[in-house]
Amino acid sequence: MVFENTLEFARALDAQDPLRAYREQFIFPQHAGQDVLYFCGNSLGLQPKAIRPALLAELDHWAEHGVEGHFRGEMPWMYYHKFLTEQSAQLVGALPHEVVVMNTLTVNLHLMMVSFYRPTAQRFKIVMEAGAFPSDQYAMETQVRFHGFDPAEAIVEIAPRSGEDYLRTEDILELLEKEGDQVALVLFSGVNYYTGQFYDLEQIAAAGHRIGAAVGFDLAHTAGNVPLRLHEWGADFAVWCSYKYLNSGPGGPAGAFVHERHADRPELPRFAGWWGHDEGERFKMRKGFRPMHGAAGWQLSNAQIFSFAAHKASLDIFHQAGMESLRAKSIQLSSFLQFVLDEADAGQNRFRTITPRDIAARGAQISLLTDPNGRALFDFLAEHGAIADWREPNVIRFAPVPLYNSFEDVWRLGELVQRGLRG
């Protein structure tokens, strides 16, 4: 599509947008009596209007039934995690028994590594992208130390080539082949939080398995952002959170995927809890852990009902909209954003984009590496009602989210950036 940097053109795109009505299902913070320009969904998504009644319904359920709320009503608490299974599976391209909503992201990452990072004297390394989100870095470091290895030797990070901003798939595959039978685990983000690069997860999973390693993905910036086919791609496990693109509220519950080839492997080491124990035997309170079939066998505790209720309200929206439709709009939104940002900086070289311009290689994000005045530009945007994200030392991240961002939002952001650059 040939874009035009005009308000009329942006409004014309909005008028043609089949998803435009979903914007009305979200609550926007206010600035000077107007909706903010919210481009921070890669950090915390906006609140769906459906969440408040969902929470109130559970409060009323508690008030009416007390402890019997675990067994009464249309959605008894005893089985609440099951009410999120089908939609979660559709969201990440998995079979229902391969997914479970539980805990929080880094808790799930550690639980998965207990089972799938099984280092030996020969095969002990973890391969990951350099500059991964700190949660991943710290989890890797402490898991490696827990097993008695030195992180400096055991963690192999791959960085972009000199002078480049994001990774080449061929370099990842070459490194995996080089490290070969020393690699115990390959762990990559789905979408890099800093650059917005969407990695080729299918190729990474296949390459990791060719060298005999386990493969896992952190999908914190990926679930609800791009379509996924986890079952088909074949990774051993994946984890994700729900408060970014999934709009389920701060500290919202996380998800986990375990491929079906591990569905009935009770011999796999794991840190168990009673909610992961055989459902038919759970309340007999006997010794001897017998895991549930599939990902549910990694559960620790019963559901946090209020956060699960918020998550269910958000998953309902994704189920209605569909990830393929969301992705189509996301590509168009991010492409329009790239266009207006390029126009704003034309001839000035005040920033450069470090997100891939190849639409297949990025999620709903454009990251700008700014000149030394970047913080002033970011502050100008905030003062004028545009909420984005600042990352040290000098990167501004914008996330045009297809569920609630409009093309007019993007155009207005471009206008603000242009004004901010003029000082």
> In the numeric block, which tokens belong to residue 199?
């990695």
DSSP 198: B
> What number of H helices and E strands is found in the chain?
13, 17
272 three-state secondary structure: coil
Catalytic annotation, pick one of 200, 218, 236, 389: 218
Give the chain's length. Answer: 423
Query: 3.30.470.20, 3.90.1150.10, 3.40.50.12160, 2.60.40.10: which CATH number matches 7-35+323-422?
Result: 3.90.1150.10
- Residue 26 backbone dihedrals phi, psi, to 5 degrees: -125, 155
CA distance from start to end of the chain: 32
Burial of 418 (0-12, 13-18, 19+ CB in 10 A): middle
Beta-ladder partners of 367: 397
Domain 55-319 grouped into CATH 3.40.640.10: yes
Per-residue HEC secondary structure of 321-376 comes to HCHHHHHHHHHHHHHHHHHHHHHHCCCCCCEEECCCCCHHHECCCEEEEECCCHHH
Instruction: Answer yes or no: 244 catalytic.
Output: yes
Instruction: Answer yes or no: 397 catalytic.
Output: yes
Catalytic annotation, pick one of 270, 312, 397, 412: 397
Catalytic annotation, pick one of 117, 243, 339, 351: 243
Catalytic annotation, pick one of 23, 125, 244, 412: 244
- Residue 16 backbone dihedrals phi, psi, to 5 degrees: -90, -5
Catalytic annotation, pick one of 133, 188, 198, 237: 133
Residue partners of 183: CB distance under 8 A and separation at least 6: 123, 125, 126, 127, 156, 176, 208, 211, 212, 213
Instruction: Answer yes or no: 289 catalytic.
Output: no
> In the numeric block, which tokens belong to residue 129?
């992208």
pLDDT confidence of residue 283:
86
CA distance 205 to 229: 12
- Boundaries of every domain in the chain: 7-35+323-422, 55-319
Per-residue tens of pLDDT for the chain, all 423 residues: 899 999 999 999 999 999 999 999 999 999 999 999 999 999 999 999 999 999 999 999 999 999 999 999 999 999 999 999 999 999 999 999 999 999 999 999 999 999 999 999 999 999 999 999 999 999 999 999 999 999 999 999 999 999 999 999 999 999 999 999 999 999 999 999 999 999 999 999 999 999 999 999 999 999 999 999 999 999 999 999 999 999 999 999 999 999 999 999 999 999 999 999 999 998 888 999 999 999 999 999 999 999 999 999 999 999 999 999 999 999 999 999 999 999 999 999 999 999 999 999 999 999 999 999 999 999 999 999 999 999 999 999 999 999 999 999 999 999 999 999 987
Containing 155, the helix (H) or strand (E) segment is strand 155-158
